[in-house]
Amino acid sequence: MSDKKISGAGLRGQSAGDTALCTVGQSGSGLTYCGYDISDLADNATFEEVAYLLFNGELPTRGELAEYKAELLAMRDIPKALKEVLKLIPKDTHPMDVMRTGCSFLGNIEPEVDFSEQNKAANRLLAAFPAIMCYWYKFSHDGVEIDCTSEEESLGGHFLRLLNGESPSAQHERVMDVSLILYAEHEFNASTFTARVCASTLSDMFSCITGAIGTLRGPLHGGANEAAMDMIQKFTSPADAKEKMAGMLERKEKIMGFGHAIYRTSDPRNVIIKAWSEKLAAENGDTSLYDISVACEEFMWDTKKLFCNADFFHASTYNYMGIPTKLFTPIFVCSRLTGWAAHVMEQRSNNRIIRPSADYTGAEPRTVKPISER
């Protein structure tokens, strides 16, 4: 392989198009949505306001937000046919496969007929994803057919309500809200780029989102929060964490929840979710998971200058809220759907089919030998 290919691997550092939705690794803390810094949004907005911002380019007024939330609330339930499909999916299925199927099936029974319906399709998925995830989870794991509606104010609160069968505390609802804000959008990451490539063929919203879910599923992308949880649960103390991580690095294993393709010294989402993890640890009374996580962070920085990305402290945060590990990445879907759909809309607004070229590295030109001579 030539040097050119090595430096070009993964298309790192190359611009693949324009966007007005997000900057990563540039101004402010390093992440902005439509010009707003992520820390500003996490402190002063709700997830519904952020969804509205990504879909419309501006934050809503009080009246617009009330109308938008009412629209989403009315769309939370899922059709009976989809419930029947979810009931058929086995318990040990990867929950991201459930999300992919749920999204795809909804596209069968409520298709986006033309692009004038793109906001409706995006909002429908946004409102219905918590039900798709929880209906399957509760049915396959506990044999319970849950009511998929709730009067919870926020989508984050709605999700926790469906999962636990009771209203969340104000603190847990807010943590979920912040988490959904942090995961909502991240420029041309792998899953968003998948959605844009699909959109560039003038395909429908459900296909774009289904493809993006499949891309997010991998452990190098969205699956990292679950993988981080699996890892830290095996550590018995901060000292044990450091010792085991040293072994992992020696064996050249990737440590999930660390490093980033664009950020070089820190991920601006980490400081925000880490602070919530610390608060939840204090609330819980048992801070060991948080302490172990901090030890991991210190060790990785001291030995490799690798920093926590958004996923690492999400693991302990979700765990403190009692969320099953297998639902971590599907929650990411419930949030990132907003970024994906916004990118689909943006791609459609100024479209040319995305079709890059490749540098050929294969055989010299040759002719087909008859099969009897091969």
Applying CB under 6 A, the residues found at the interface with ligand COA are 220, 224, 254-261, 306, 309-311
**DSSP 3-state of 22:** strand
Residue 230 corresponds to which amino acid?
D
Backbone angles phi, psi at 23, to 5 degrees: -120, 140
Residue 281 structure tokens: 């640890």
Catalytic residue list contains 158: no
Which residue's CB atom is positioned nearest to ligand COA? 259
Q: Apex CA 190: angle with CA 360 and CA 358, to 5°?
A: 10
Q: Which residue's CB is nearer to ligand COA, number 93 or number 303? A: 303
Dist. CA 189–CA 323, nearest whole Å: 26
Shortest spacing between CB 205 and ligand COA, in angstroms: 25
Residue 99: CB minimum distance to ligand COA, A: 18
- The 3-class secondary structure across 180-194, one letter per residue, is HHHHCCCCCCHHHHH
**Paired tokens of 162:** 């469906």
Pick the closer one to ligand COA by CB: 118 or 319: 319
Q: In terms of CB distance, is 55 or 235 closer to ligand COA?
A: 235
DSSP conformation letters of 218-266: STTTTTHHHHHHHHHHH--SHHHHHHHHHHHHHTT---TTB--SS-SS-
Instruction: Determine whether 92 is an active site residue.
Output: no
Q: What's the one-letter identity of residue 330?
A: P
- Shortest distance, CB of residue 216 to ligand COA, whole angstroms? 10
What are 58's two structure tokens? 């501006």
Closer residue to ligand COA, CB minimum distance, 1 or 170: 1
252: left (phi over 0), alpha (psi -120 to 50) or beta: left
Which secondary-structure segment (H or E) carries 287?
none
Q: How far is the CB of 121 from ligand COA (least distance, A)?
A: 27
Which one from 260, 267, 314, 343 is the annotated catalytic residue?
260
Question: Which residue's CB is nearer to ligand COA, number 308 or number 342?
Answer: 308
What's the min distance (Å) between Cβ of 313 and ligand COA? 12
Strand blocks (E) in the chain = 22-24, 31-33, 36-37
Query: How many other C-beta atoms are found inside a 10 Å radius of the C-beta of residue 288?
Result: 15
Which of the residues 177, 204, 267, 311 is marked catalytic? Answer: 311
**To the nearest whole angstrom, how small is the minimum distance from the Cβ of residue 306 to ligand COA?**
5
Q: Among residues 224 and 341, whose Cβ is nearest to ligand COA?
A: 224
φ/ψ of 342, rounded to 5, equals -65, -40
Active site residues: 260, 311
